[in-house]
């Protein structure tokens, strides 16, 4: 049995997710640049990697849309926020952002079920699993930062360790 092509509604929703993943990549790139300028080189490395992974998530969606007979669109993006109060604020933003991405992915999965597009539903399960990991990673980082507080030595070690921390991606 051949898969049916994407419905216009599913294609539009997938292209909205393409935009969200592209914006996420830009957002993490802006955070990485801020961290690097502030001297948080380990954090910058971690966020640069995270930015790259979000771009890969975007490309995966574009290719899926195209393979299903749709047209993956490259979105125009606005400049993301690029000033942060401190390293704690950066990771509060990361966590909040990942929660927002999870909500959007869940909405897309729900739409797939409403539209009876089980192939796209199956494809989106990778993103559901990925978001569980992304949220866990952000929560764990925030927990560490809460333990450290404003201790400069602790922040130094945290930054150094973050350079070697693997992001939550599962390619």
92 labeled part of a ligand binding site: no
What's 162's DSSP letter? H
Other Cβ atoms closer than 10 A to 160: 13
Do the annotations mark residue 54 as ligand-binding? yes
Count other C-beta atoms under 10 Å from residue 131's C-beta. Answer: 19
* Token reading at 111: 């739409």
Consult the annotation and say whether 21 binds a ligand. Answer: yes
Q: Is 131 annotated as a binding residue?
A: yes
Instruction: Return the beta strands (E) in the chain as ranges.
Output: none
Distance in angstroms (rounded) separating the CA atoms of residues 93 and 87: 10
Residue 75 dihedral angles phi and psi, to the nearest 5°? -85, 155
Find out whether 98 is annotated in a ligand binding site: yes
Full DSSP string of 108-141: HHHHHHHTT-HHHHHHHHHHHHHHHHHHHHHHHH
| Number of C-beta neighbours around residue 162 at 10 A | 21
Binding residues for Fe cation, by number, are 21, 54, 57, 98, 131
Binding residues, by number, are 21, 54, 57, 98, 131
């Amino acid at each position: 049995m051949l898969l049916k092509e994407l419905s216009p509604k599913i294609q539009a929703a997938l292209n909205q997710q393409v935009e969200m993943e592209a914006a996420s990549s830009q957002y993490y790139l802006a955070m990485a640049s801020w961290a690097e300028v502030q001297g948080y080189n380990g954090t910058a490395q971690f966020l640069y990697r995270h930015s790259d992974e979000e771009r890969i998530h975007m490309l995966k969606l574009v290719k899926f849309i195209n393979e299903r007979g749709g047209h993956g669109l490259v979105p125009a993006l606005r400049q993301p926020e690029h000033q942060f109060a401190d390293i704690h604020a950066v990771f509060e933003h990361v966590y909040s952002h990942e929660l927002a991405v999870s909500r959007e992915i869940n909405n897309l999965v729900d739409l797939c079920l409403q539209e009876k597009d089980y192939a796209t539903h199956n494809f989106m399960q990778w993103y559901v699993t990925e978001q569980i990991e992304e949220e866990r990673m952000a929560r764990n980082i925030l927990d560490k930062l809460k333990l450290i507080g404003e201790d400069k030595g602790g922040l130094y070690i945290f930054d150094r360790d973050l350079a070697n921390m693997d992001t939550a991606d599962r390619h």
